A and B are shown apart, each in its own frame.
Chain A
């Protein structure tokens, strides 16, 4: 999801050569950049954009799975799903917190999500019509997310890297519970196995798109690599994901929906890897730009949550003010005695 946050990122910056060189030298020495440190405006802007979009992805990412909590087939699955969705809310908050250290306010980020100015990962604009989708999301979507996020733990910006470390620790359960769920379906009745295969068919390509555009089409990618905002190219991470996932599907008798998928012993410097078919980038761009099957629903749900929570936020602020006023009055009474 996470490399998608860099799409269209404006890395332009107007500092002096000397300032930029000193900053680059810090990055090259593997020093972490902390919020109050001097940094190029382009670095700050790029990070606000990327961390903000990452946070939005976690928050919107609660919706496709939240859809199934009430209909989980067993208590065990329901507990897992509840805990996972709660984690995603928490991950969104860790990330908003990291973005806020760069001087952007939470209100501003929320507004940008609701107005459509800020994006979130394309993957959450696909529907979750069957229970097997809960398995596919955990296994593939969280699997792809982990691939990206492990790399981000070494990002040059301290608060982002620290948030990623915490997120990665928690994310592993998400992927395992998804795969376990898929295994259960794949080993179940023919109908259940078919349901698991159908979910894989629908989620495979969108999962590959999560890594973002191909390196050759990725604007500003070089600058972000140089600043160590990202450490690996989109294509390298995507390849790693394919190589890790294909055997997992084979193990449970499911088939990737890609006729061009085949083992290539030459790949990865002779270690071998999978060749895979062409990604439909026109679909990717359509979904990123708002034309996916669920874009409108997702934002409408976030807007409703924001609007429905307005009275709670207002009441909490008024209550806090009332308590402060009372405390002040009591203090002045005591002083008068």
Chain B
């Protein structure tokens, strides 16, 4: 019984207001409340943040790295997506 797996949670921390929550690591805990407490103890001992998210690791859906070339094609042939593709008369100045 005591060797039953304690659920794994991924921990995200917002360093300060104005910034996004960022993944920092994981923690084991029986429920969400204890996961938050453990995350606070482990990941914020020195003013690392003011807000924590935890989410069970098994609930995260990740893209397949084997498909990263098709998923994240640099789209080098789609130059029309960039502002420099378009000609603007010099006299108009910065746009």
Contact = CB atoms under 8 A, between A and B. Distances in A.
B56 to A, nearest CB: 11
A107 B3 CA distance: 7
A34 B42 contact: no
Contacts of B46: 170
A36 B67 CA distance: 11
A314 B2 CA distance: 6
B3 A316 contact: no
Interface string A301-317: 00000000111011011
B31 interface: yes
Given A100-B8, A310-B2, A86 B45 contact: yes
Nearest to B10: A97
Interface SS of A by simple majority? helix
Interface SS of B by simple majority? loop
B45 A106 contact: no
Contacts of B26: 97, 100-101
Nearest to B3: A107
A97 B25 contact: yes
Contacts of A159: 25
A90 interface: yes
Q: By CB atoms of chain B within 10 A, which of A313, A319, A323 has the most?
A: A313
B65 interface: yes
B19 interface: no
A317 B4 contact: yes
B65 A37 contact: yes
A314 B65 contact: no
Contacts of A155: none
Contact of A317 (B6, B25, B64): B6
A203 interface: no
A51 interface: no
A314 B1 CA distance: 7
Contacts of A323: 31
Contacts of A309: 2
A163 B25 CA distance: 8
A94 B1 contact: no
A316 B65 contact: no
B28 interface: yes
Lowest 5 A-B CB distances belong to which pairs? Answer: A310-B2, A316-B30, A320-B31, A320-B30, A97-B25
Interface of A: 34, 36-38, 86-87, 90, 93-94, 97-98, 100-101, 105-107, 159, 163, 170, 309-311, 313-314, 316-317, 319-320, 323
10 contacts: A36-B62, A36-B65, A90-B42, A101-B26, A105-B5, A107-B5, A311-B2, A316-B6, A316-B29, A320-B34
